[in-house]
Structures are given as structure tokens and as C-alpha cells.
């Protein structure tokens, strides 16, 4: 009863089950996969695999299906890399590079992933916390409001309104921000902040605050606070979904129904937490109960970071039933993540 063959049996079970969605018995196993031994032998191996927790029987007289643990072993040790076909690669590249701006590119990436995997794609916007500041713009809107536009080196453009009440002209010092003053502030802030990460912004801004005329300090501080806040806010982390309709396809029965799955996907904050947790080199896989969310107990998540020059600035993933085509999904996610990294604004 060689250890090797046992693993081979597990692989066969996973591959067969993924394809047929039926519990697989010892007979078909010998027939459909070239194992070269008799069903009885397989049965012994299966008993051992079941004992070890890699497979299970739905009911007494049925075949075996892989457990989460079984899939895990499969993914870690048995899955063979299956590179995409050249035409597929070209299609990805073309489709992504046609995006006109960040929103567009990310939407395209999510659709693409959903289509390649036949599952639900999840794409996180480049995290503001991991982005550097490229440019800061101050736009006066009447006397009462200031529009602050923050452009990151990851291509995100965020804007915030700063109300008079929050410190423009409203405070007792009654400073009027003419164009020249504004231009100077803009230049100073940009000089101080250009290329810096959020963690370095506070300090840089503090020095600007000290450098400007005293009557401007208040407003500069307001602007600085707002920018730091904008770049740090959890709720500004955004997510794009695509392919939810795939969940409802006939071949995707979930024991618990798809309500819990859809609910989990709507909880952007929680979903984001899961993705963030999965950040790792290359592609990460969470199988079934491994991801803590109850709603996703019957699903697996395959995710990969993406970002310019090796810097991961966000995560992209695919969510499907634990019974999924892992090699294919992993290949697709990795490919999209790579091309996405390449297409992103350098």
C-alpha cells in the first residue's frame, strides 16, 4: 500500500469529483484513471485516506468525496500547474490594456476573471494605505468650500469637500484664500508630500504647517488632516464584483443555498478583511472552512496580490465552490493579476 499510490488515488478522486460532481467509487476510479490496480486495492487505499480525513462518504453506500483537508493536500502537493493557452493570454492582455482609466481597468479585470474561472471575481481597488501620493490639488468652490483632490501613484483619484465650517474662512481669523495663496499652499504641500506613503505624510505635512504664515496654519492643518484621513479610511477601500450570476448556474448547488454566499459577498468590509488576510507571495488559496466566514464555508477563494514592480497594492481573487477546478482557477487568477500589474499606471 504505497504512500505514493494513495496520493495518486486522492488526486484521481479530486479530479473526478470536480468534473462529475458525483461521489466517486472504487470502480470508476480504476476505469477512468489509469491506476493499474483493482477496485479492491483502491478500496483499501480509500479506507486509509478516509481514516486520515482526506475524503468522506456522504452516505453509507455512496462513493467518496474530498474533504477540505483533501483539497488542501491536493492544492499543496498534487495540483499541476496548467498554464493558459497563448490565445487566452493574448486575449487577457488585449482586453485589459484597452481600459481607459483605473475604474475601467478594474472592471475589465473582474469581468475577465469571472469569465475565465466561471466563478465570482473580486477585485480590490489599490489600497490607499499602500499607495503613494502623486499629486494634491486644491480647488476653491466659491468662498465657502474647498475641493481637495488626491491622486495616488496607483491611479486612484479621491476627492473630499472641506467646508467653511471645517476651517476655510469660517474660523475667527477670517483669512481669505486668494489664488496666489492657494497656489503657494498647493506647491508647498505637493513638494512635501510627493511620492510619500501615508505613514510618512503626517510628518511631512507637520513641517509644512510650521513653515507657513501663522494665519494659514489652521487651514493647512485642516487640509492635511483631511488628506491623511482620506488615505487612511477603511471605508474608502473599494471592491468590484463580477460574475455573481455564475453562482446561480445549475452546476453550482450549495448545500445551504446561495443566500449565505451572496450575503457574504455583499459584506464588503468582511470580504475585504478576508482578502487582506490572504496577501502573500503569489497565489493564495483558502478552502472551505479555512476562511472564517460562515457564508463562505462551502466555497474556496483563490487570490493573488497585484501592483507595480512587485509591490502588492491590492488583491484580486475568484470565489467558487470548494469543488472547483483549482489548477485552472489558480492559473487564471495569476495570469490576470500579472497582466493587471503590467497595465497599471507605472
What angle is formed at CA 273 by the lines to CA 162 and CA 252, rounded to 5 degrees? 125
Exposure letters 230-253 (e unless 16+ CB within 10 A, then b): bbeeeeebbbbbbbbebbeeeebe
Element containing residue 147 per DSSP (H, E): strand 145-152
Give min distance, CB of 304 to its own copies, in A: 23
Read off the DSSP letter of residue 295: G
- Residue nearer to DNA on the CB measure, 180 or 250: 250
Contacts with its own copies, 210-249, as mask; x by CB under 8 A: --------------------------------xxxx-xxx
**Residue 266 partner contact from DNA, its own copies, none using kind-dependent CB cut-offs of 5 to 8 Å:** its own copies
- Residue nearer to its own copies on the CB measure, 246 or 304: 246
Give min distance, CB of 144 to its own copies, in A: 12
CA atoms within 13 A on the CB side of 80: 5
Give min distance, CB of 12 to DNA, in A: 12
Q: Which residues bind DNA (CB under 7 A)?
A: 1-2, 5, 22-28, 36-41, 43-44, 46-47, 50, 57, 59-64
Rounded-to-integer distance, Cα 345 and Cα 41, Å = 57
The reply on whether position 165 binds its own copies by CB under 8 A is no
CA pseudo-torsion sign 238, 241, 247, 248 = positive
Rounded-to-integer distance, Cα 139 and Cα 174, Å = 19
- Residue nearer to DNA on the CB measure, 39 or 140: 39
CB atoms within 10 A of CB 190: 16
Pick the binder of its own copies from 11, 134, 188, 286 (CB under 8 A): 134
Element containing residue 303 per DSSP (H, E): strand 299-306
The reply on whether position 259 binds its own copies by CB under 8 A is yes
| Cβ contact 284:304 at 8 Å | yes
CA pseudo-torsion sign 201, 207, 209, 211 = negative
**Residue 244 partner contact from DNA, its own copies, none using kind-dependent CB cut-offs of 5 to 8 Å:** its own copies
- Residue nearer to its own copies on the CB measure, 101 or 173: 101
CA pseudo-torsion sign 290, 291, 293, 295 = negative
**Residue 44 partner contact from its own copies, DNA, none using kind-dependent CB cut-offs of 5 to 8 Å:** DNA
Contacts with its own copies, 68-107, as mask; x by CB under 8 A: ---------------------------------x------
Give min distance, CB of 252 to DNA, in A: 18
Q: Where do contacts with its own copies occur on this chain (CB under 8 A)?
A: 101, 134-135, 137, 139, 141, 147, 149, 151, 157, 159-161, 179, 183, 242-245, 247-250, 257-259, 262-263, 265-266
Amino acid at each position: 500500500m504505497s504512500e505514493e499510490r494513495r496520493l495518486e488515488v486522492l488526486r484521481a478522486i479530486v479530479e473526478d469529483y470536480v468534473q462529475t460532481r458525483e461521489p466517486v467509487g472504487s470502480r470508476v476510479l480504476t476505469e477512468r484513471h489509469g491506476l493499474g490496480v483493482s477496485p479492491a486495492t483502491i478500496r483499501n487505499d480509500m479506507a486509509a485516506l478516509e481514516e486520515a480525513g482526506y475524503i468522506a462518504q456522504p452516505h453509507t453506500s455512496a462513493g467518496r468525496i474530498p474533504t477540505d483537508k483533501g483539497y488542501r493536500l491536493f492544492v499543496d502537493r498534487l495540483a499541476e500547474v496548467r498554464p493558459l493557452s497563448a490565445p487566452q493570454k493574448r486575449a487577457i492582455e488585449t482586453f485589459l490594456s484597452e481600459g481607459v482609466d483605473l475604474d475601467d481597468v478594474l472592471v475589465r479585470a473582474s469581468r475577465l476573471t469571472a469569465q475565465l474561472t466561471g466563478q465570482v471575481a473580486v477585485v480590490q481597488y489599490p489600497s490607499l494605505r499602500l499607495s503613494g501620493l502623486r499629486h494634491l490639488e486644491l480647488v476653491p468652490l466659491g468662498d465657502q468650500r474647498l475641493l481637495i483632490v488626491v491622486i495616488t501613484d496607483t491611479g486612484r483619484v479621491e476627492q473630499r469637500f472641506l467646508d467653511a465650517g471645517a476651517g476655510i474662512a469660517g474660523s475667527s481669523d477670517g483669512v481669505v484664500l486668494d489664488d496666489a495663496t492657494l497656489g503657494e499652499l498647493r506647491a508647498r504641500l505637493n513638494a512635501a508630500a510627493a511620492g510619500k506613503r501615508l505613514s510618512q505624510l503626517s510628518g511631512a505635512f507637520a513641517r509644512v504647517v510650521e513653515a507657513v504664515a501663522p494665519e494659514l496654519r489652521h487651514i493647512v492643518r485642516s487640509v492635511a488632516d483631511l488628506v491623511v484621513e482620506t488615505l487612511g479610511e477603511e471605508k474608502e477601500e473599494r471592491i468590484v464584483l463580477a460574475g455573481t450570476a455564475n453562482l446561480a448556474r445549475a452546476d453550482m448547488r450549495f448545500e445551504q443555498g446561495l443566500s449565505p454566499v451572496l450575503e457574504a459577498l455583499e459584506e464588503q468590509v468582511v470580504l475585504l478583511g478576508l482578502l487582506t488576510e490572504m496577501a502573500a507571495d503569489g497565489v493564495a488559496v483558502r478552502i472551505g472552512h479555512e476562511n472564517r466566514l460562515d457564508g463562505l464555508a462551502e466555497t474556496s477563494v483563490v487570490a493573488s496580490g497585484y501592483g507595480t514592480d512587485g509591490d502588492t497594492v491590492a488583491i484580486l481573487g475568484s470565489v467558487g465552490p470548494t469543488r472547483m477546478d483549482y489548477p485552472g482557477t489558480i492559473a487564471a487568477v495569476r495570469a490576470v493579476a500579472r497582466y493587471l500589474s503590467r497595465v497599471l499606471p507605472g
